[in-house]
Amino acid sequence: MTKPDGRRIGHLDMDAFFAAVEQLDDPSLRGKPVIVGGLGPRGVVSTASYEARPFGVGSALPMAVARRRCPQGAFLRPRFARYKEISDRIRSILRSVTGAIETISLDEAFFDLSGRCATFEEAEEVVRNVKHRVRIETDLTCSVGLGPNRFLAKIASELDKPDGFCVIRPESVREVLDPMPVGRIWGVGKVTERRLQGLGILRVEDLRLAPPSLLERELGSMGKRLQQLARGEDDTPVGRQASARSISREVTFAHDLTDLLEIEEQVRSLAADVAVQLQREQLLCHTVRVKIRFPDFRTVTRQVRLAVGVDSAGFIEQLAVHLLYDRVPLRDVGVRLIGVGVADLSISSARQLSLFEKRAAEESPRHPALG
């Protein structure tokens, strides 16, 4: 693990992306609290505009709670196709300045300028230009950070939100990190934070100066990693490390589904959505999985591993439906949640031909239970 040095890593994070897109497309929503997510009684908030956040509404909050806290808000279902369209524009801007891009989600990406920019000053100018182009070409704001590694770039982008720009230089790492609460370190969740606080480790500086033997005894090998981050050290490369990623979609229903045709329709729809994202990101999957949650919250996940990578919507639908009927113990009790996901991703050098699409159409008969 090397100390912060000459690397120049950027991190771009769109501001309240889903809600901002809705406000962009419907000017009547601008300046108003906008909450995007599942609208049923079991739905959760995906994104809340900054106008909604003073009411205590944020991501992952149950939608029913969000409605109570902000009854005057505009509650909208996500429009993923529209969000992907704008996300593609943002990735094009990043690709114009570097080939080393790591897309985290539709609204977030790392980009490595080390090979392009000889100095931090040069990298800062490129990042400012990226931020300006995003505003001009999408009419949306983003927060961008620049640092000597991924961890510090991410921290930098969070320091001046929304519409922020922040640079953490190697010589200012301790000045920036030391006063922060220890919970800002990657990998420190609520449980680990309470454990560290019990040891008197409240700030990042405390973690940086803690005896390594203490951290190893209390946290095992993770203790060493957390202390490295507290020192601002992170050698993780930036790149499209697709094999470590996955793409999934799931939906929780307001009323349990019992009709097999409805269940299959939902599986096919989710599979198609996942395939669209695969194709947009020029990725292939080697694993397809289906997730079913029953009314008693028992959850079943089944998956199939493929010898070759695919991105065909028809083929992924076929596999997902096969898993549903042949591997999931469907009963008359109903289904509370359905999810479809793909994993073991690899980068596609070229879009696949229609071979899989044709075969899927020819070889995907209805399950006998559906006639």
Nearest to 270 by CA among 292, 291, 250: 250
The catalytic position among 22, 102, 108, 124 is 108
> Helix (H, G, I), strand (E, B), or coil: what is residue 10?
strand
Using only C-alpha atoms, what is the Rg of the chain? Answer: 23
CB 242 within 8 A of CB 346: yes
> Helix (H, G, I), strand (E, B), or coil: what is residue 206?
helix
Where would I find the H helices in 73-116?
A: 80-95
> Helix (H, G, I), strand (E, B), or coil: what is residue 357?
helix
CB 49 within 8 A of CB 7: no
Q: Within 13 Å of residue 365, how many CA atoms lie on the same side as its CB?
A: 4
For residue 136, the tally of other CB atoms under 10 A from its CB is 9
Active site residue 108: yes
Cis geometry, peptide bond prior to residue 211 (ω within 30 degrees of 0) = no
CB 162 within 8 A of CB 50: yes
Q: Which residues are catalytic?
A: 108
